Amino acid sequence: MSIGPVEYLIVGFPGNHFNGDIVPALRKLVESGTIRIIDLLFITKNADGEVEAFEIEDHPDLEPYGTLSQELDGLLNDEDVELAGETLEPNSSAAFLVWEDCWAKEFAEAARASDGVILAGERIPAQIVEEALIAVGRPID
């Protein structure tokens, strides 16, 4: 099985409030074949600093996310929950998302076939890119 680059993202939600507002955007990415969701886990941290993780099927408020999870559910483990818990402030929540960049699969296959190896890579936060574009006088769309 060939797989494209895989990434993860922890999206925080202050106040331990999950809502379904990100579901339509994620669904669009999945349906267009841009990404394939590999795992999705929800994490909360209460006022005392206790961390708890939920799978989609474990919590009724997570029902809107149920249509997004794909076949490799269960990849995230206790260490991942601990990592996410360390990033959360008390009384907050997070969605821990792992996805395959399907859009880059063909490029990744070509790079591997050419004996190419990844030497470095990092996601640059949008705020940093926007600030850099403004600094050089380029418009932001």
Query: pLDDT tens, 80-92?
Result: 999 999 999 999 9
- 140, two tokens: 């932001």
94 in a structural domain: yes
Name the residue range of residue 55's domain: 6-103
pLDDT at 6 over 80: yes
* Mean pLDDT, residues 47-67: 77
CA dist., res. 44 & res. 48, Å (int): 11
Beginning with the edge strand found earlier in the chain, give each strand of the sheet holding 35-45 in spatial order: 6-14, 92-101, 35-45, 51-54
Find the length of the chain: 141
Give domain status of residue 126, yes or no.
no
Q: Which long-range contacts (CB under 8 A, 24 or more apart) does 64-68 make?
A: 64/20, 64/23, 65/20, 65/23, 65/40, 65/95, 67/23, 67/27, 68/23, 68/26, 68/27, 68/30, 68/37, 68/40
User: Per the domain annotation, does 75 fall within a domain?
Assistant: yes
- Identity (one letter) of the amino acid at 50? E
Number of domains forming the structure of the chain = 1
pLDDT tens digits for range 67-80: 665 555 678 899 99
Q: Is residue 1 part of a domain?
A: no
Q: Which residue has the higher pLDDT, 88 or 17?
A: 88
**Residue 39 domain-assigned (yes or no):** yes
